[in-house]
Structure 1
Amino acid sequence: MDRSKSLNLLRIMNKLIIKDLKKTYDNGVKALDGISLEINSGMFGLLGPNGAGKSSLMRTLASLQEADSGSIFLGDIDIMRDSLTLRKHLGYLPQEFGVYPRTTAEELLDHIAILKGITNKKERRELVGYLLNKVNLYEKKDKYVKGFSGGMKQRVGIAQALIGDPKLIIVDEPTAGLDPGERNRFHNLLSSVSDEVIVILSTHIVEDVRELCLNMAIMNQGKIVYKGAPQAAVDELQGKIYAKQISLKEVEEYQATYNVLSNKMVGGTPVIHILHNEDPQHGFEAIDAGLEDVFFAKLKDSNTTISNH
């Protein structure tokens, strides 16, 4: 393929359009309740608490389960009708990345490259070597993946997701359980591959989205409750967030009196963040709003809206 055709293909495939996606499981749970999003190339964060529907959306985008209705297009690929074409352009790192017990990193990537249609042995060997270098695991290529640390396994997971020059990469809860050093290395790796492709980062860890993503959405109970730039959402709350250190026995009283967004322990003592349009006095201190405040505010608003219906 010449360069002009390659650039045209890239332009065509740098947008993912999801319209009115719905999925209800047999137990009656609405995992996806009218999801609509447009996602461009770069890193896109999908935030939500456990059970919000993030993994259901990721599995649907990866064509691992069918939606009841709606549409998904990656460029001109109709994902819901043409999953085989999608998978040629998809990299996927699920929340649980399983490995064969007696398989080396090199053997695992070689096997996945075969499954993705790379039949030339020399081409596979070069590709696997390149990817192992990229994720800083080349020196461990002959070691069994089963014995790797959690962060090393995640790096293998990203390497396999990059096989086949994907245009859409989906990573589901990739930093859960990683130590701070591995988390930073993983962030750097994700950032290095997101320039010309769509990378969807699904997580419940607010810091991951704050550090990596220019655009995001927040999910709750199968719905999108916010979509936009993280900084824009934070700016909306500036001047409205107040904090106070209280005692454990006062928590319920303050929750009943104020719009408490979060309650976290600092030095063994609860510190609450509240949303208030003006200085509430009574010992509260004005603080800079953060993405975590946005997250809890949007969840609280959506829970109130849903319960009122």
Structure 2
Amino acid sequence: MTASLPASVEDTLALLGQGQYVADTPLATALHLALQLKRPLFLEGEAGVGKTEIAKVLSETLGRKLIRLQCYEGLDVSSAVYEWNYSRQMLEIRMAEAQGGADRKALAADLFSDEFLIKRPILQALEPTEGGAPVLLIDELDRTDEPFEAFLLEVLSDYQVTIPEIGPFKAEEPPIVIITSNRTREIHDALKRRCFYYWVDYPNAERELEILRKKAPTAPEDLSRQVVAFVHELRKMDLFKQPGVAETIDWTHALVQLDYLALDPSAVDNTLGVLLKYQDDIQKIQGSEANRILTQVRTELAMAG
């Protein structure tokens, strides 16, 4: 069932909450404006802070179809927008030749029609969809090349794609566009100007604890508090890759699965591979450093009451 767009920032916060997404007011404001003014929302931030999840939650709570374009180096128009079904076109040509007397101009027009068009995510997002315009997630745009960014300018400005053989395809209703970037490289200003921008940072301890209450509800409260405090200490350190919220959730689930009611040195050392993704970081934390952080965490939580 399709839901209407939220009418206020408070409604946007409530909508995200329905999808178990714990947002703050600035993020809800940026999202509300993007929805109401029909502008793409460009979300930038470290990996694992919940950027992609926003598109998924919007799709679920608004009852809209989610169309995801996962970006990668070398992504081109044929993979992201459209391509022609060459095998079917060749078959059509051979059938026409076998029948004889085919009108070449008519055949050429038929070959480059919707019937032979393979629609990729961006073109699919511009088509009319039952239940309202879909949510188009362009995920990790920073992984693509600059030429693909340039192509997106037409899509984000006019919500249309021009196919040379057919002409422009323009959306009757603009899709809800969420673009994410992990900032492995800078995205060109021309593309950012077409979007509303929001930097998704790591949550503070209070909000991350609330996230765990929603995403790992079976975890004991003491364990969740210790996990959050431990992770926040790690984020202050010079690591190759600091743990994101996704890793915090995964680590909590792992500890619960192993029946830990609270953190101890063995629990940390045995499960660091869930939290940290690089061996150099694991070696840096394992053992005495993990024990030092854990002692500090226990002391701070005890003082906080």
Q: Flag whether TM exceeds 0.5 (same fold).
A: no
Report which of the two has the higher share of strand. Answer: 1
Q: TM-score, normalised by structure 2?
A: 0.31
Q: TM-score, normalised by structure 1?
A: 0.31
Q: Which has the larger radius of gyration?
A: 2
Report which of the two has the higher share of helix. Answer: 2
